[in-house]
Amino acid sequence: MIRRPSLKTLSASLLALAAFAAHASDAAPHWGYAGHHGAAHWAEMDPAFETCAKGSRQSPIDISSTVKEALPALEFQYGSAAPTLVNNGHTVQVNVPAGSKLTVGDKSYELLQFHFHTPSEETLKGHHTAMVAHFVHKSTAGELGVVGVLIQPGVPNKAFEPVFAHLPRPGEKITVEALEIKLADMLPTNLGYYAFEGSLTTPPCSEGVNWMVLKQPITLAPAQIKAFRRLFPANARPVQPLQGRVVRESL
């Protein structure tokens, strides 16, 4: 069963949201990816966003020069989950119930959600992939660990079908109760990765995020990529300066 709000309920909700936004614009700056609301102006919109301009560990980055190391393996303990899909106006975010974990050395993280950007926010030697999925995890100490899975057009990935078959409209939230996504099947077979210190790629651009970008891309059907781009033609923050950071690459 798919719990999707009726058009009448959705229209009322959107009208209420618009009315609230009209009276609360000072409290919730409207940021986006183009023009006066684009990434170049995020820091000007709210004092809480100043790290977007002043930070020294900002994401995304271009991955070009790396140092190879014996990095700890990424151990995914991902199960199956009935997803809740949210179109928050910036991306499609898939919230997952507790129980899926990532262990990296002596650190353990819980998977909270994953979402998409097109084109990829991270670049490899200056080149974007068609999309990227960011799997956002949080440790018990509150530390964030984000795994980036690069996406190129190609053969369909069945694990993503429940998501792309039910992409929510702006402001909509959908729970797909009858379908389960197999989270582990969303990952490539090779779990080699690049590791670096970074930040959130959206306001407030908070730093202290541990980034792990998988080296092997996955593929989605071109039609799935086009379906996402109809909602979000471009929702990627430009790459940020390294400022002395070292990008480590697993052997």
Number of domains in the chain: 1
pTM above 0.85, yes or no: yes
- Start-end of H helices in the chain: 7-23, 42-45, 51-54, 161-164, 222-231
CA atoms within 13 A on the CB side of 25: 6
Q: What is the pLDDT of residue 175?
A: 86
Is residue 133, in this structure, part of any structural domain at all? yes
**Mean pLDDT to the nearest integer, 210-235:** 97
At 211 the pLDDT is 98
State residue 28's pLDDT score: 64
First to last CA, the chain: 44
User: Would residue 152 count as lying in a domain?
Assistant: yes
Q: Which domain holds residue 91?
A: 2-17+38-250
pLDDT in tens, 34-48: 999 999 999 999 999
Confidence of residue 178 (pLDDT cuts 50, 70, 90): low
Q: Give the mean pLDDT of 175-200.
A: 91
Can you tell me the mean pLDDT for 219-241? 97
In a domain, 26, yes or no: no
The DSSP annotation for 20-64 comes to: HHHH-TTTS----SSGGGSGGGHHHH-GGGTHHHH-SS-S--EE-
Q: Is residue 23 part of a domain?
A: no
CATH code: domain of residue 173: 3.10.200.10
User: How far apart (Å, rounded) are the C-alpha atoms in residues 17 and 20?
Assistant: 5
**221 domain-assigned:** yes
Q: Is the residue at 30 inside a domain? A: no
Distance, C-alpha 114 to centroid of its chain = 5
Strands 84-87 and 92-95: antiparallel
- 29 vs 236, more confident: 236
| Gyration radius of the chain over CA positions | 18
Q: Whole-angstrom Cα distance, residue 3 to residue 8?
A: 14
Q: Which residues are marked as active site?
A: 90
Residue 176 has pLDDT above 90, yes or no: no
- Residue at 20: amino acid letter: F
Specify if 44 maps to a domain.
Answer: yes
180 close to 159: Cβ distance less than 8 angstroms: no
* Residue 77 within a domain: yes
